[in-house]
Structure 1
Amino acid sequence: MRTSMSKILTAVTIARVALSLDVSGTTKFQSSSKRGLVYISSEHSSDDQIWVEGNSDLTWYYDYTDIPIDAYSNRSQAEFEFVPMLWGSANSSAFASEIRSQMTAGRNITHILTFNEPDGSASTGGSEISPADAASIWIKDIEPLRNESIKIGAPSVTGSQNGLSWLSQFFTNCTSLGTNCTVDFIPLHWYGDFQGLASYIGQVVASYPNTSIWITEYALPHSDLKTTQSFFQTSAEYFDRLDYIERYSYFGSFRSSVSNVGPNAAMLTQDGQLTDIGSWYLGGAATGNSPSSSSSGSSPTNSGSTGAGYKLNSWKSGLQALITTFAVFNFGIWF
């Protein structure tokens, strides 16, 4: 079977990025205008400002609702873009009215998100909407917003084969109702290792070519610290290198003591200090602040990883990315 040399070189280049940086010591992590905030409310209001202080890389955020949070009300869309979301099926007509009202008041809304994990159950944060109901709501209340020059994201399904099946059924239902339900980008969620993430993205790209992708929730849950840090670095570098990944937002903007994806995935320690991952995500250097599941109020320590062992793990992840990308685009193999 003939293979394209350009595809091979592309795959090699994408894999090589995982080997390119050593962010130990005081070296800052690479900057990226793609990074956004998955805003999670906290009992510690001071935590809200961490994400926009200093030289933060974050350019946009969403909060699972159609209303921006008060903490960022003094920031324009150009400074920190708010992306509204229609979370579920309730009040979809009110959603469209709210968007138009904000635009009339001067907020320059250019993108919206729709239906948070509609294939998932309420117990896991899903909005539990059938593809048929979602298509009907989309045509009635979402599609008209395209007349406002707003770019619309597809429903944000779970990172599973069931999610991809739901998305396919959604588009089929749209067609049966007489419209293509045009989307400008496809938001994805992923909780798992990097090899699975790369393969999942490959599936979506193959199914929906020439469509931009946003990774709006992702993390490696409940893993050891070094593995979690390696996953973050490798995946962020991967996203930054791929042109069709337009934006991404890491799920970890909370304290490690309340993290539902494990303390090591959190971007803040139990005391509200930036972890290595938190600082890297903002484009900074490793902090050495070690996350813990305890909320004892103990002082941050410097016992966390500061990059040691990253290159070894990155070789493994980089090779996995190369193998996955090569197999997906040349042989149609999914891992």
Structure 2
Amino acid sequence: MFTAVLSSLVTFGVVSVSANAIPPQERSVTKTLPTGWSFVGCKVDVGDRILVAANQVSSANTPQNCISFCSGKGYTMAGVEFAQECWCGSAYNPVAGTVQTASDSDSGQTCGGSSRIQVYQQSGSTTTTPGAPTATGRRGLAWPADNNFDPAIFKSSKVGFLYNWGHNNTPKNKDFPFYSMQWNGNGISTLEADARAAGATTILAFNEPDLGSQANMDPTTAANLYKQWISPLSAKGFKLATPAVTNGGAPTGITWLDSFLAACTGCTFDYIALHWYGGWIDDFTAFINSAKKYNKPIYLTEFGLAWDADAQASNYLEFLPLALSYLDSEPAVAKYAFFGAFHSGTGKDMINANGTLTDLGKLYVS
């Protein structure tokens, strides 16, 4: 619901699943790894990536090249995915939850395909494997570009990402993974470069294109831009979300999204993005349920009460616990962000004028 001017993760258990095959990389190369490095297993890599410290994409990528790239940056873990992707770290990303091991075989290539990553580690280093977390990290911060507060006040096990409706990270954000957004068609040619510079691995597409007051795009135009500029980023290591539509009636909302998906033939997307501004919890849950038909994890990147101007803090303190309880228990919802990470002098504020958390903000991080 924000203007351009202001700019399923389910907790994983340790299970074995089948890996996707991909021909270009053969696992026999693990016999000639750089000294001190070894293969530690095939892992599942969906949702938030399990190695996020650094990455590169190269058609000449091999385990050896990836290890050289990661070790050169001082990291002790390297991962090869989708043949051309190299991911680095010195520990698994805690936001990703418990890391799953995929079935693997040294007799041939059975790892390194889509959502499967070959992980290598330097001898003598210790792999940090997150246990089953008490928090899923589903909550995010919809952070206006003119918000000069420090996002660190929201640092908690509950909050796992930040976006600001633009390509570039909020300068003070040092604590949360940043998601780049392409607000409308303007400046889309720099999206990839800007997102990489910002360290983003997730791209959010157009902001409420179904509304004339927001991105204001017809489904066909949006699909053509998405197909040309955003969909190809999937093969370059990014996770992608559809345009974020509202809960309005036809031709907006889900109807608009249906038309977009029909026009975007061959497009890749990992998540369905939604915004909701409504009356109370019943129409909130009904809207989420309406998007389950796509069989994709849902990103609810904005939500609040439609009667916002009249809503008091007491109204939000009653509504938000209902919404959070539902969202945290709904497997279809991967991520969500309440629209209130600022100070505006209204009941939805999660930040006080002095930069501390309001009661609503304290509720969001608890």
TM-score (norm 1): 0.63
Measured against aligned partners, the alpha-carbon deviations of 1:180-206 in whole angstroms (never above 9, x if no partner) come to: x2321111111121111101111111x
Please identify, of 266-275 and 225-234, the stretch whose mean Cα deviation from structure 2 is larger: 266-275
1:275 to partner: Cα distance:
1.7
CA distance in structure 1 between the partners assigned to 2:356 and 2:274 by the alignment: 28
Matched with 1:273 is 356
CA distance in structure 1 between the partners assigned to 2:144 and 2:312 by the alignment: 23
CA distance in structure 2 between the partners assigned to 1:41 and 1:86 by the alignment: 14
Greater length-normalized contact order (CA 8 Å, ≥ 6 residues apart): 1
Structure 1 residues not aligned, in runs of 5+: 1-29, 258-262, 284-335
Contact 1:256 1:267 in 2 (8 A): no
The amino acid that maps onto 1:218 is F
Matched with 1:35 is 139
Matched with 2:271 is 185
Matched with 2:297 is 212
User: Between the two proteins, what is the percent identity of the paired residues?
Assistant: 30
Contact 1:64 1:84 in 2 (8 A): yes
**RMSD over equivalenced CA pairs, Å:** 2.0
Secondary structure, counterpart of 1:116 in structure 2: coil
TM-score (norm 2): 0.58
Matched with 2:284 is 197
CA distance in structure 2 between the partners assigned to 1:270 and 1:166 by the alignment: 38
Structure 2 residues not aligned, in runs of 5+: 1-133
CA distance in structure 1 between the partners assigned to 2:189 and 2:150 by the alignment: 33
Contact 2:137 2:157 in 1 (8 A): no
Matched with 2:86 is none
Measured against aligned partners, the alpha-carbon deviations of 1:199-221 in whole angstroms (never above 9, x if no partner) come to: 1111111x31x210011001122
Q: 1:46 to 1:132 in 2, by over 3 A?
A: closer
CA distance in structure 2 between the partners assigned to 1:267 and 1:151 by the alignment: 28
Matches within 5 A, 1:17-36: 31-36=135-140
1:97 to 2:201 alignment:
no
The amino acid that maps onto 1:170 is F
Matches within 5 A, 1:1-335: 31-42=135-146, 45-52=148-155, 55=156, 57-72=158-173, 75=174, 79-99=175-195, 101-102=196-197, 107=199, 109-122=200-213, 126-161=214-249, 162-175=252-265, 179=266, 181-192=267-278, 193-205=280-292, 207-208=293-294, 210-220=295-305, 221=308, 222-257=310-345, 263-283=346-366
Contact 2:234 2:268 in 1 (8 A): no
Contact 1:42 1:254 in 2 (8 A): no
Measured against aligned partners, the alpha-carbon deviations of 1:17-69 in whole angstroms (never above 9, x if no partner) come to: xxxxxxxxxxxxx95511111112446x34544233xx463221001111112
CA distance in structure 2 between the partners assigned to 1:271 and 1:70 by the alignment: 19
Secondary structure, counterpart of 2:311 in structure 1: coil
> Which one has the bigger helix percentage?
1
Q: 1:143 to 1:46 in 2, by over 3 A?
A: closer
> Which one has the bigger strand percentage?
2
Q: 1:247 to 1:40 in 2, by over 3 A?
A: same
Secondary structure, counterpart of 1:36 in structure 2: strand
Q: How many positions carry a matched residue from both structures?
A: 227
Contact 2:135 2:157 in 1 (8 A): no
Secondary structure, counterpart of 2:210 in structure 1: coil
Secondary structure, counterpart of 2:264 in structure 1: helix
The amino acid that maps onto 2:182 is L
Contact 1:255 1:271 in 2 (8 A): no
Secondary structure, counterpart of 1:59 in structure 2: strand
CA distance in structure 2 between the partners assigned to 1:187 and 1:200 by the alignment: 12
Contact 2:166 2:181 in 1 (8 A): yes
Secondary structure, counterpart of 2:275 in structure 1: strand
The amino acid that maps onto 2:291 is V
Deviation beyond 4 Å, 4+ runs, structure 1: none
Measured against aligned partners, the alpha-carbon deviations of 1:253-307 in whole angstroms (never above 9, x if no partner) come to: 11142xxxxx111112344432211111111xxxxxxxxxxxxxxxxxxxxxxxx
CA distance in structure 1 between the partners assigned to 2:311 and 2:274 by the alignment: 21
The amino acid that maps onto 2:328 is D
CA distance in structure 1 between the partners assigned to 2:150 and 2:192 by the alignment: 31
CA distance in structure 2 between the partners assigned to 1:266 and 1:225 by the alignment: 8
CA distance in structure 1 between the partners assigned to 2:209 and 2:237 by the alignment: 25
Q: 1:271 to 1:134 in 2, by over 3 A?
A: same
The amino acid that maps onto 1:182 is T
